[in-house]
Amino acid sequence: MKAHVTVSLKPGVLDPQGRAIHHALEGLGFGQVSDVRVGKVIELDVADGTTVAQIEEMARKLLANTVIENFRVDLG
Amino acid sequence: MKTAVVVFPGSNCDRDLMVALELVTGQAPIPLWHDSNELPEMLDLIALPGGFSHGDYLRSGAIAARAQIMREVMSAAGRGTPVMGICNGFQVLTESGLLPGALMRNAGLDFVCRDVRLEVVNTQTPFTSTYAQGEHITLPVAHHDGNFQADRETLDRLEQQGQIAFRYAEEVNGSARNIAGILNDRRNVLGLMPHPERVVEPAHGGTDGRRMFESLLNVLA
């Protein structure tokens, strides 16, 4: 079974990488973009029966730094 | 003075730190491998060195902060043992929760590697007692993720409780309130991005870093 943990910066946290990507998109002529935020997706192969709560615990303990990041778990 | 330097896979300033500590204390530090589960007794200082522990995978310092030895470091810090984390060591301390906030990618996105001027903000700590309040010192930095960020309440608390040890006296990496180094509330844990161990003898071009280790020696000897 697959689980996906999507980690993203909390709103308001400065994202210099997102800003640089935004700048590059504008340079390519994509003027319709108003903001870019960079996150990551962590794909886990987990045993059947693993619960969302267990994956959330993994996210809180390691996969995300909850000082600056939010996360979302998608299972199955 | 009995000191120990934790070595993670990918640490690369551990030797410099051990040389600096031996120079100042006259006693060779004890290297501690990351997966050890016990500390030598009666340590006067545990130091976490710079480098790229675990390749900076996931987040800088994130995996090292969950190493076996860190449980021991955290309980020693709780007993009042001085702990200092330099550069990647600072990142490990924030990731472990021993220090608040987080160290993010430098605002300019560049790896910054140069001497920077710092203001000593708090001299009432075991790490900074040989400096003068407000003194400007010069230490080298070499980092990609040194942009210290925390929410406003945390930043206010750090300021009000004297937990800011050093500020950059120039723009370096976008850190909130120019923070270069912070303390925990008991002031026995220090994390800083600049490298004091790289300026401990005149041949290095300066000795401002040496005084940080001398402070510890004065307090603990």
How do residues A18-71 score in pLDDT, each as one tens digit? Answer: 999 999 999 999 999 999 999 999 999 999 999 999 999 999 999 999 999 999
pLDDT at B194: 98
Predicted TM-score (pTM) of this structure: 0.95
Q: What is the pLDDT of residues B177-220, one digit of tens each?
A: 999 999 999 999 999 999 999 999 999 999 999 999 999 999 88
Q: Chain A neighbours among B 132-161 (CB < 8 Å)? A: 147, 149-150
Where do runs of H (alpha helix) occur along chain A? 16-27, 52-58
> Domain residue spans in chain A?
2-75
ipTM of the complex: 0.88
pLDDT at B221: 66
Tokens standing for A51? 């619960």
Beta-carbon separation of B109 and A61 below 8 A: no
pLDDT of A14 higher than 90: no
User: Taken in order B24, B64, A13, B144, is the CA torsion positive or negative?
Assistant: positive
Identify the CATH number of the domain in which residue B70 sits. 3.40.50.880
Q: How far is the C-alpha of B177 from the C-alpha of B30, rounded, in Å?
A: 35
Catalytic annotation present for B195: yes
Residue with tokens 């709560």: A53
| Residue numbers in chain B where pLDDT is lower than 50 | none
Residue A16, min C-alpha distance to chain B (Å): 6
pLDDT at B12: 98
Tell whether A68 is within 8 A of chain B (Cβ).
Answer: yes
Tokens standing for B191? 């994390």
Domain that holds residue B195: 3-220
Give the DSSP letter of residue A59. Answer: I
- Count the domains in chain B: 1
Out of B13, B34, B54, B87, pick the active-site residue.
Answer: B87
CATH 3.30.1280.10 assigned to A2-75:
yes
Beta-carbon separation of A61 and B66 below 8 A: yes
Q: What share of chain A is helix, strand, coil (3-state, %, to 5)?
A: 30, 30, 40
